[in-house]
Amino acid sequence: MENSAINDGGLRERKRAQTRAAISAVARSLTAQHGLNGFTVEEACEQAGISRRTFFNYFHTKEDAVIGSFSDELPEDALEAFNRNPDRAAGTISGSLLSALRHFTLAVLERSTVSPSEIRQLIAAVKAEPQLLGRLTREGEVRERQFAELIASREGLAADHAEIVMAAAVFGAVTKKTSQQFFSEENTEPYRELLDRNLHAARTLFAQALDTHPVEPQKDQP
């Protein structure tokens, strides 16, 4: 009986995810073609094969439907693995943080239900309706703060600690660039390979010695 209930719950959630994705796909397609003001909720419902009531069960506005739902809960086992820190050091980040961030990112992405085609649909909609970029930027800023708090919790440091702030910013920049490459039309490489290449490139830069002496201005040649 318990297994049946679990299976039924999983099936319902999959159906909900499929419906949500179908609504977003239609909303993005219509936005890319006509802009947000170029179609009605009723037209989106007709193309998605749903009722107006169903639409509003999933999304409050057309803009919400276009943005979609990319904030699924993080896998619990991935979070548990990330938070295990065997070499936490006082007052500084641990030596295992970079590897932990890599494993965590791959675990989350490889279980994500968001497909490359969904991302490309969103990009096309944003190009047609630039006002959506502001919404995505705001949501990105919220996720960046949450990411810094997640790292801070693992490391036992404050979220505004300089090393936590930079770890979140630099790793976030690497994963952002990796996602841009992975979701591009011409890409044929797995996300894992792209991420590792970009992380190695970043490590090459930051492994360089930092000369903090002031640069002397060059004197004009006589």
Could you tell me the sign of the dihedral formed by the alpha carbons of 11, 17, 18, 19, in that order? positive
d(CA 185, CA 73): 27
Question: Which residues are registered as beta bridge partners of 98?
Answer: none
Which amino acid, residue 81? A
pLDDT (tens digit, 9 = 90+) per residue, 54-101? 999 999 999 999 988 654 557 788 999 999 998 888 899 999 999 999
Q: H/E/C letters for each residue in the chain?
A: CHHHHHHHHHHHHHHHHHHHHHHHHHHHHHHHHHCHHHCCHHHHHHHHCCCHHHHHHHCCCHHHHHHCCCCCCCCHHHHHHHHCCCCCECCECCCCHHHHHHHHHHHHHHHCCCCHHHHHHHHHHHHHCCHHHHHHHHHHHHHHHHHHHHHHHHHCCCCCCHHHHHHHHHHHHHHHHHHHHHCCCCCCCCHHHHHHHHHHHHHHHHCCCCCCCCCCCCCCCC
Residues recorded for the chain: 222
Amino acid in the structure at residue 191: Y
What was the pLDDT predicted at 209? 93
pLDDT for 41: 95
Which residues are CB-neighbours of 116 under 8 A, at least 6 positions away?
Answer: 182, 183
Say which CATH topology domain 1-68 has. Arc Repressor Mutant, subunit A (1.10.10)
Which positions of the chain have pLDDT values less than 70? 1-10, 69-73, 113-114, 217-222
**Roughly how many angstroms between the first and final C-alpha of the chain, as a whole number?**
92
What are the structure tokens assigned to 149, written together?
């708090």
Can you give the residue ranges of every domain in the chain?
A: 1-68, 70-207
Domain 70-207 homologous superfamily, CATH: Tetracycline Repressor, domain 2 (1.10.357.10)
Distance (Å, rounded) from C-alpha 75 to C-alpha 135?
25
Whether this model's pTM surpasses 0.85 = no
Assigned token pair, 211: 């000369």
